[in-house]
Amino acid sequence: MPPRTAAPGQTRETGGGGGGRGGRGGGRGGPRGGPPPRGGPTRGGAVHAPTGPAALPGSHVQAVGVKRPGYGTAGRAVTVYSNFFKISLPESVIHHYDVISPDEKVLPARLNMDLIHHLQTIDAVDVFTPRAVYDGRKNLFAPRELPFGPQNSQEFDVCLSDDPNRGSPGENTGGRGPKVYKIRLTKALNVVVRMEPTMKYPFNVRSFFTDRETKDIGSGLVLWRGYFQSVRPAIGQLLVNVDISTGTMYKSGALMDICLEFLGRPGQHALLSPRSGLPDRERIRLQRFISGIRVKTTYAGENKTPRVVKKLSSAGAADLSFTLRDGTSRTVAQYFQTILNRPLRFPNNLCIEVGSGALIPVELCTVPPGQIMRKQVPPEKTKDVLEFATKRPEHRLASITNGLSVLQYGQSEYVRQFGMHVEDTTGPLTVTARVLQPPKLKYGPGSAQPTITPSNGAWNMIDKRFFRPASIDRWIVVVYERQQRFNPQAAQDMIDGMLRSFKDVGIRITDDKPMVTWQNGQGRIADQLRAAGAECFARTKQRPQLIVVVLPENGNDIYTAVKHFGDIVVGVATQCLKSQKCFRAKPQYYANVCLKVNVKLGGINTIPDPQSVSVLTDPRNPTIVMGADVIHPAPGSDGRPSFTALVGNVDSDTAKYIATSRVQASRVEIIEDLQDMAKHVLSMYMKYRQYAEKKTGNLAPARLIFYRDGVSEGQFKQVLDNELKAIKEACAELKINPKITIIVVAKRHHVRFFPSGSGPGEQDKSGNCLAGTVVDQVVAHPTEFDWYLQSHGGLLGTSRPAHYNVLYDENEFSADGLQSLSFALCHVYARSTRSVSIPAPVYYADIVCSRAKNHYDPQGNVDFSDSATQLDSTQAEGALEAYKRGFKPLHVNMQSLMYFS
């Protein structure tokens, strides 16, 4: 038995002690709604949903959100493929059992699966014929009632320790099933279709991964192609959604080689020794990378059960000593020399500490294949992951169809025994979609074309002036690139390029010779910017309205400090440019910069033509559109808070937005301060109508449309219970009473659509469906008001449609009304001349959340680096208070501007 770690102040003794790995919680609940109505679909691959009242949910049907009021009819009809396949339904009752195996959340799901598999195939074959299916946590489903007698409960003893190929702490485990009842079919079916692949491949909630297609991306990581599957109720039928996904795996092989590859020093074995100068910072970085990984040991006589790495020792094996039971002391290196009958090859190298406290030299460990890395991918590897994950639509659809052979629905005994049949021979389901007409966009006086119609989600700024251009009296340029690399001529070329673009888009500028200074990025950024502003004031008696900052490569820290100074401390617009992009930049680059600068200074780039979006611009029904989002810390960043954002328009054209942001408890999805945030945005809306638009009479909005990002289906009820209440209370405080509509926008799903034809009226240049493609039939929810809208033109890979769910609707919008309104809002995103994938206010909320760290003083003690350690609950509460105290509010100058663009 390897030596154990001891608590501080205690000696270490060899001896017993176990300890399984801490498991993660289960996945989300199954899809909403009950089983779909019987009957309906026609034979073959093509299915056309009924569109009359027969297809709409009856009055007796319960729904979490709004029941579907009807189907959309606007737009040009097209046929598209989807990544859904039909399933025939089982007619029999499925029996559900609760599984207790000592406590299924303590053991990893993979081990739970192994225990139940062992129980069904070795220990109690007669009880489990035909076999039941298991989700790895609490739920077991059987196609017949299990013979447990009148108690409906039975305890089994399962021991895997006699089987060397299975990972197990060797504990006896019981399974019992006290309840039998008719259940919602969908969750049972999700387990049924996943059971066969889950027993064979590494899995992650609803995806599993195979090594048929892999890519080595270095740093001890390898990518595996995976398959996602989920059974969903649809209109009149049940469907299985199949998609490809990507899993980031630890590389298999010697743990020492993986560690050295992660550190960027392959083959340099002596480097893993603190004696040889391994910095503690690098050791902690490596520890974060390998903690949680399962390893096997290579020396004879040791239990072959994989062990879980808890941490790395702070000293090498020759420098770690422990006390034996007889009172003598020896080092870990000496202990293993006795066990191996030979000295360690690298006695000064680190040891791993496993869950039970045992210390094992790194050189004696190997990593078994197929282990998912459940941490954030290193930023420098993101490009590799995207290249592997990106597939053109036709290749993705082929990969999905070929994946059915990996899924093996036809051969799966679990699927057959439950009376199900996946109709994979008919191919992917074809669906009738519609391509919506885009809104017309209005530009300012002096434009060659005052209104334009986007073509497949894109338009250009040639010969167009902003709808409301800003004016700049004084601006300065601060360069953080070295003067040898970005010389005065490069700076002048950049200034000339910007001045030309300002003139082209109508931004009025009176200062054509801005002051330029070069600064050192290692200094205090705020002091340097303040000094530059003071020098500008001393020379011109005017403070700059805009600071243009030129950043070097990897200038993220400088960027954060610049934004904190501009947005939080002094309230001045800042525009950062990368020095590399400025060298011989084309006019298009500076035109894109102008899109951002104009709105930061209070201008408006373009508005939807009021005639083409009357639902938004109706003067009798002034409308405020809000977008809300919450961003959570990366996996493994315990103690970091979540950030929330609320964005809303203040103008009558839904083109000018303001934002407010807050900090709240880690990984809490519901927005805690929404009442206060909504009150702020609503009062700013009314002030703008009064003072900027000079409206008289009623300043309050008649309609409030609230788009909410990032909420899973299982949390819809919480949004209605908490966030709707908060919005209503904010309105009550302001003594206003708008009619409220709440729509959840989801991008994290696996539904994809593929063009069925190759003509220009069927697909765009990237091979994707056209911008404006909407689907609300066949694959939509059987009872609730939802639709899929692909509002953007494709660029790379397969475009993902956004999924809209209407949770609440006092405005009683029609399907066409809400679909066209949502599509129009995808065109008012100020930073581009393309429509975006989700409505602009939601996109802005997402940006505001990700910029929340700019509210903290870069010189302060709040740590956003990757080296934050894990905290217990008391420490986490203290950390949250520290984060809340350190979160500085937006400067008053910025509260009415689109500083986030």
Quote the CA–CA distance of 616 and 613 in Å, as a whole number.
Answer: 6
List strand residue ranges (DSSP E) for 436-484, in order.
441-442, 451-452, 471-472, 475-479
Place of tokens 């039975």: 154
Place of tokens 């790495």: 309
User: 3-class SS at 557?
Assistant: helix
Q: Work out the average pLDDT over 65-76.
A: 91
Q: Is residue 654 within 8 Å of 828, Cβ to Cβ?
A: yes
Q: Work out the average pLDDT over 530-552.
A: 93
The tokens describing 458, both together, are: 């894109």
pTM, entire model: 0.80
Name which of 179, 87, 197 is nearest 139 in CA terms. 179
Residue 390 has pLDDT above 90, yes or no: no
Q: Work out the average pLDDT over 99-113.
A: 63
Report CA torsion sign: 588, 597, 836, 77.
Answer: negative
**Length in residues, the chain:** 901
Name which of 268, 262, 266, 254 is nearest 290 in CA terms. 262
Q: Is residue 870 within 8 Å of 638, Cβ to Cβ?
A: yes
Residue 138 has pLDDT above 60, yes or no: yes
The tokens describing 10, both together, are: 């205690």
Residue 371 Cα to chain centre, angstroms = 21
Q: Residue 149 contacts by C-beta under 8 Å, 6 or more apart in sequence?
A: none
Query: What would the DSSP string read from start to end of 184-234?
Result: -HHHHHHHHHHHHHHHHS-EETTEEEEEEEEEEEETTEEEEEEEEEEEEEE
The helix or strand, by DSSP H or E, that contains position 875, with its residue range, turns out to be: helix 873-886
Q: Could you give the percent of the chain with pLDDT greater than 90?
A: 42
The tokens describing 1, both together, are: 């038995």
Higher pLDDT, 213 or 215: 215
Q: Could you give the percent of the chain with pLDDT greater than 70?
A: 81
At CB < 8 A and 24+ separation, what contacts does 145-152 make?
145/95, 145/180, 146/95, 146/97, 146/177, 148/177, 151/178, 152/177, 152/178, 152/179, 152/180
Convert the pLDDT of each residue in 573-602 to its tens digit.
999 999 989 888 898 999 999 999 999 999
Instruction: Determine the pLDDT at residue 642.
Output: 93
142-151, 576-585, 609-618, 634-643: lowest mean pLDDT where? Answer: 142-151
Place of tokens 């102040």: 9
Query: What would the DSSP string read from start to end of 696-733?
Result: -S--S-SEEEEEEES--GGGHHHIIIIIHHHHHHHHHH
Q: Work out the average pLDDT over 727-747.
A: 96
Residue 264 has pLDDT above 90, yes or no: no
The helix or strand, by DSSP H or E, that contains position 842, with its residue range, turns out to be: helix 840-850
Band of pLDDT at residue 411, cut at 50, 70 and 90: low
124-138, 365-379, 544-558, 765-779: lowest mean pLDDT where? Answer: 124-138
Instruction: Determine the pLDDT at residue 196.
Output: 62
The tokens describing 9, both together, are: 């102040």
In this structure, the number of other CB atoms found within 10 A of the CB of residue 145 comes to 12
Apex CA 393: angle with CA 392 and CA 394, to 5°? 95
The helix or strand, by DSSP H or E, that contains position 334, with its residue range, turns out to be: helix 332-340
The tokens describing 663, both together, are: 């900090």
Residue 603 has pLDDT above 90, yes or no: yes
Q: Residue 874 contacts by C-beta under 8 Å, 6 or more apart in sequence?
A: none
10-24, 235-249, 377-391: lowest mean pLDDT where? Answer: 10-24
Mean residue pLDDT of the chain comes to 82
Name which of 130, 156, 154, 149 is nearest 141 in CA terms. 130
Q: Is residue 189 within 8 Å of 143, Cβ to Cβ?
A: no
The tokens describing 540, both together, are: 């011109």
175-179, 512-516, 550-554: lowest mean pLDDT where? Answer: 175-179
The tokens describing 563, both together, are: 């934004």
Instruction: Determine the pLDDT at residue 701.
Output: 95
Q: Work out the average pLDDT over 479-499.
A: 92
Instruction: Determine the pLDDT at residue 195.
Output: 58
Residue type, 6: A
The helix or strand, by DSSP H or E, that contains position 27, with its residue range, turns out to be: none
Q: Work out the average pLDDT over 448-471.
A: 91
* Peptide bond preceding 635 in cis form (omega within 30 of 0): no
98-102, 216-220, 225-229: lowest mean pLDDT where? Answer: 98-102
